[in-house]
Amino acid sequence: MKVMVCPLNGPRNISEFQWLGPVQDAPEATGKNLIDRLFHAPNPMGVIREWWRHMPSNTVFMAERNLITDEILRTWLNGADADKPEGEA
Amino acid sequence: MPMELLKYGLRRGHRPYADIPATPELRKRYDVVIIGGGGHGLAAAYYLSHYHGITDIAVLEKGYLAGGNTARNTTTIRSNYLTPPSIEFYREGIGLYETMSQELGFNVMFSQRGQLTLAHSDAAMRSFRLRAEMGKHVGIRAEVVDAQTVRELCPQVNMDIGGQHEVMGGLWHADGGTARHDAVAWGYAKRAAEKGAEIHQRTEVTGFGIAGERVTEIRTNRGTIAAGQILQAAGGMNGHIAALAGLKLPIRNFPLQAMVTQPLKPFLDILLSSSNLHTYLVQSSRGEIVIGGATDPYQLVSTRSSLPQKEALATGALHLMPFLHNVKILRQWAGITDVTPDFSPIMGASPLQNYWLDAGWGTYGFKATPVAGKRMAETIATGRVPDILLPFALERFERFELLNEMGATAAGH
């Protein structure tokens, strides 16, 4: 069983989670980056930052995952300091 | 006679027959370098050498011949897609499969047994009607059939009357079939090598030298080479190889998992799939039931398998054929697919003048092996992208001229 740590509910079976796709650099699609934003999602041979949802509790959060090893490196709630994991100063 | 055979086999200096020559030394330059020694690359080498008089070819393969997605796919050949450009393209592919064994003098075991996709919902029936009409419009054999016809075409299927997955009808595609994947790749490789094309196994592309808008050198783990023209046909690694050449392709990787059961006596003489259950079944010529389905639910550049996905495949298979419940799984595996936003491939020119793309094959590359090879060879030999490939150009994303095949490929293969 593959386990993912929900920032709200702790470690849960990966089957309880829904993958919502990579976090894009630009928050919104505008004229200049429209093509990039729509069609060129990140696909690195390494670590990717992405949106996930814990379905039973409808908790949407962020995760960092290695696309080669499928290792989930960290998960955190997206707040005002979205790029910092919880507990980090 | 057996004694003679034994003596022949044990004779000193006996050289076993080899279809594919051993990997030669890498030369400094080739007219055409093909990146990727899978079905597509080898087919392109065949058509270049046999139809266009270009024999100074090197096929570079990181691993072993046809060991990537050519080895890992589940060999469904069909043309019942949704958009006319796709249907035309895959129809040409089926035509080439029909004559492939004769053309190559190599038995690829093409079996045109027909494909039946089941609908368990009204929405699926509705989409089948659209696909059938589009197919008829272009001129392939595709028709919507009712539950009674499903029963006649495939008496083994569990109709689940009144149940959770009641079969409401299906899309019958008489042109559909299957072939032996290794034989397809080896047949093309053998005939291309006979004309002088070099197949370099365990030769990994590590980078490119680019001057202006041309690729001037290809760096590999066995040395640097120059090429007149380059074809990239690298399967799951397409996005990453293109990145080495400074090109950004709209491609993401997802694993696609499959498995086979222990061999059974022949009972399933069609290709069976279900668009609602995301499962398809085909009995191989060895008797194994090949079970495939949708890609993994999240991005990954890995050929690892996962229990949830295998369970989903087994669940779908058991819904369709409950009597398989005591049958053992013999092998399981995964491939890395290179999926585009519109579920259509990217073929033709790249922003670099001598660099051609055969990419974005997602979950549907095997059926296109001959036609992609033939048309990409034509493109490289003439320097002009043929009309049939134009809708698949990379620029379609910039022009918002997407070729949406999501409804036709997500589960059907």
- Contact A35/B397, CB-based, under 8 Å? yes
Contact B104, B214 (CB under 8 A): no
C-beta of residue B290 within 8 angstroms of C-beta of residue B321: no
A12 found inside a domain: yes
* Structural domain contains residue A37: no
Do the chains contact at B239 and A43, CB–CB below 8 Å? yes
Which of B230, B198, B192, B214 has the alpha carbon at shortest distance from B379? B230
Count of A-B CB contacts under 8 Å: 44
CATH number at A85 reads 3.30.2270.10
Minimal Cβ distance to A39: which of B239, B299, B397:
B397
| Sheet containing B143-146, strands listed edge to edge, beginning at the edge strand earlier in sequence | B143-146, B169-173, B115-119, B271-274, B279-283, B289-295, B252-261, B329-339
A55 lies in a domain? yes
Asked if A15 reaches chain B (Cβ–Cβ under 8 Å), the answer is: yes
Contact B302 A22 (CB under 8 A): no
Q: Which domain holds residue A83?
A: 1-25+48-89
- Domain membership flag for residue A38: no
Task: Tell me, yes or no, whether A39 lies in a domain.
Answer: no
Q: Which residue of B has its CA nearest to A51?
A: B298
How far does the CA of residue B302 sit from the closest CA of chain A (Å)? Answer: 6
Cβ separation A40–B248 shorter than 8 A: yes
Mutation target for A interface from B298, B398, B403: give the one with most A CBs within 10 A: B298
Q: Are B93 and B367 in contact (CB under 8 A)?
A: yes
CA distance B245 to chain A (A): 15
Whether residue B302 and residue A67 make contact (CB cut-off 8 A), yes or no, is: yes
Burial class (CB in 10 A: 0-12, 13-18, 19+), B98: middle
Please give chain B's pLDDT, 413 residues, in tens.
Answer: 789 888 887 888 877 788 999 999 999 999 999 999 999 999 999 999 999 999 999 999 999 999 999 999 999 999 999 999 999 999 999 999 999 999 999 999 999 999 999 999 999 999 999 999 999 999 999 999 999 999 999 999 999 999 999 999 999 999 999 999 999 999 999 999 999 999 999 999 999 999 999 999 999 999 999 999 999 999 999 999 999 999 999 999 999 999 999 999 999 999 999 988 999 999 999 999 999 999 999 999 999 999 999 999 999 999 999 999 999 999 999 999 999 999 999 999 999 999 999 999 999 999 999 999 999 999 999 999 999 999 999 999 999 999 999 877 754 44
| Cα–Cα distance, B412 to A56 (Å, whole number) | 30
Instruction: State the total domains in chain A.
Output: 1
Domain membership of residue A18 (yes or no) is yes
Report the C-alpha gap between B377 and B384 in whole angstroms: 10
Establish if A65 belongs to a structural domain.
yes
Strand B289-295 with B279-283, pairing: antiparallel
Inter-residue contact B241 to B37 (CB < 8 Å): no
Q: Decide: B80 and B131 in contact? Cβ < 8 Å.
A: yes
CB burial string B6-39: b at 16+ within 10 A, e below: eeeeeeeeeeeeeebeeeeebeeebebbbbbbbb
Length reported for chain B: 413
Residue A43 inside a domain? The answer is no
Contact A35 B398 (CB under 8 A): yes
